[in-house]
Structure 1
Amino acid sequence: MFDPALESAGLPWLLFLQGGPGGRGNRPLGLSGWLREASKSFRVLMLDQRGTGLSTPASRQTLPLLGDAGAQADYLAHFRATDIVADAELIRTALGSGPWSIFGQSYGGFCALTYLSFAPGGLKEVLITGGLGPLTGPADQVYQATFGRLIGRNAEYFARYPQDRAVLTRIMRHVRDVPELLPTGERLTPERVQMLGNYLGGNTRIDALHYLLEDAFVPTPGGDRLSDGFLTQLSAQVSRAANPLYALMHESIYVQEEASNWAAARVLSARPEFAPDAAEPLLTGEAVYPWYFVQDPALAPLREVAALLAARTEGWGRLYDLDRLARNTVPAAAAVYTEDIYVDRDISLSTASAVKGLQVWETADFHHDGIADDGEGIFARLLAMVRGEDA
């Protein structure tokens, strides 16, 4: 992507590493937000990370071509940040680019730290937003922080929309007792309703959640039922048909040389306030549980593969070189969101302290999806920081 009003041939490259894992590169329909700001100085490359977009797909439809579940798990062990960085370096070389700039959002920031660890010679400067993940395991620490912050975010949401407390409880009791089918054919369960907590990670997305809940029920000859519109919108939130790698690889982004063993599920089991049958059930958020691979038709055929990945210890190499990061010389700056429920502020600051020269801008003005709210301003500020300019 570039600004057609500018002479693009002379502009340096900026690699954008999007969130995930398992998300394809952005397909912008125009220059807006952070992309508009970036296009003033760069040609922007949107990378389809392994298994996504125009890369060789990895899904319930394609993975069986590799053989049994063990062969599929062995294949997916090569879909981590170290492999994404290796691919990026091959692309940079093919483009004839010298060291390039990179911008990592969320999981893209994790990949940027891996890039700094193993291929810093390919980097001119690094910008990260909401993406300073832990440099060491275990994965449990991530979910302990996430669920802790989710309690507060739930309270914030229900303080803003107190009427939704009763609505959510009613929906969850209803789907427990009454069969409601999603457009993909399976029965909706209370725990999948809780997945609407994905909305809580954004500044304005909590308003979208309210608008979804406000007309969830419609009267029918058989009594009140969930509306087709509600079920369709909810299905879009909870199905992993479009990004199965997110579910398969999610916990692997936190492990180094140990098994994740379904870390989120284990941590959540010690949090009774998140139980679906709690008196006032809470919304969950970005995490993956074993039942995903039972209830989601897009994931059910991959249940055995997911179990093998969760138990895997062999093949999980180090994602970061702590010694290299401590000696880092590549200019780098990161936005840390104080109230981020997905990439914890305390973990982020600990990681930042381990990367020599990494400048941090902490702000409470945004949540995890800050670049969707003021991407232009955030990008400009970080770029000015790495270049020693006034923001």
Structure 2
Amino acid sequence: MTEDANGYDAGQIQVLEGREAIRKRPGMYIGSTGERGLRHMVFEIADRAVNEVLAGLAGRVAVTLTPDGGVCVADDGPGILVSEVGSTGSTFLEALLTRTWAGTGTGDRNGVTLGCCGVGPFVVNALSRRMTAEVRREGVRWVQEYARGMAVSPLTEAGPAAGSGTAIVFWPDSDIFGTAEFSFDELAERFRELALLNKGLAISLTDRRRPVECRAARFQYPCGARDFVKLLDSRAAVPAITDIVGFECEDPRMAGTMEVAFRWSGSREERVRSFANSRPTARGTHTMGFRDGVAAAVTTYARERRLLTATHPDFSADRIGEGLTAVVAVRLDDPEFHGSMLDVLGNATVRACVGQAVQEHLGRWLEKHPEQAGAVLDRIVQAARRNR
């Protein structure tokens, strides 16, 4: 069929770039134009602030849902650079908020990505009817206004500044999001998760949209994955059978570190949460390694005490999960994510590294806690009998 026959030619091809492309197809960048997309916008702005805290440049991040429908993300870091970038004539601040992929990024195990893709603050700006940036840096307060992805005022010196930091406020464009609203609970869940996975990270979330129903929460946890396991078990309201087994270590073979915490409870469910560079994962080589290690440690302990005879098979990884609550988090210099949602970790070396570390730490713990070790073995045997 010719171009004339079907009425289609090159003149009908529409090429969109920059903010026009973002506003035309917002779902391609933030997932949806509903509550999920709004939540992702908050994460894209908070991403830089959180990473400054993790790098030791800032001490806290404060997120506020404002009465007029906006979101303010503030930090007490050194403040975004306000100097010009090369010979472009624009500042680093303006480049960050008006260009795709502008910014430095972390590029290693120490950085986190709050959202699913890390599309950057320019996308948020393009999908907002208004955005304001306030930078307090080196004793000076700077402000600039934006609208739908473009600067509508020059960067202006607005007087002296006490302290330092950056505050970015954005108001989502109702032409794109309609009447969708931010969910306090969903935002709180992700910020709580980040604080649990990164010891010392302090994040506050305040909802001022309805003055008579103002809500506020602050997230900071000193014990990391151990606190995470306690939280998961408290939500399930089940009694613990063992103490929490937890450890952190680095393994050069996988170019990264791991933090693991787990215990058995009276539940018949398995609650294993896994993360790679603070990104939630559905499964992957880190969870496979964890299960391998637990099964190997329990099997070795049982055989050494003649609780398993030579004719009994080893405990398999799928037999040790009932009642097990665990958090398995790895931080890698070069994570490999698979799956359509990028939620499956694929680094092959991670499985062996995590498996070995879990086997060694759990093995020592079982030796030191014979009563609890007996309870674990009894639990596994009972579960196996029920599942025959």
Same structural fold, with TM-score higher than 0.5 when normalized by the shorter chain: no
Of Structure 1 and Structure 2, the greater helix share is in 1
**TM-score under structure 2 length normalisation:** 0.23
Structure number with higher relative contact order (C-alpha < 8 Å, ≥ 6 residues apart): 1
Name the larger-Rg structure: 2
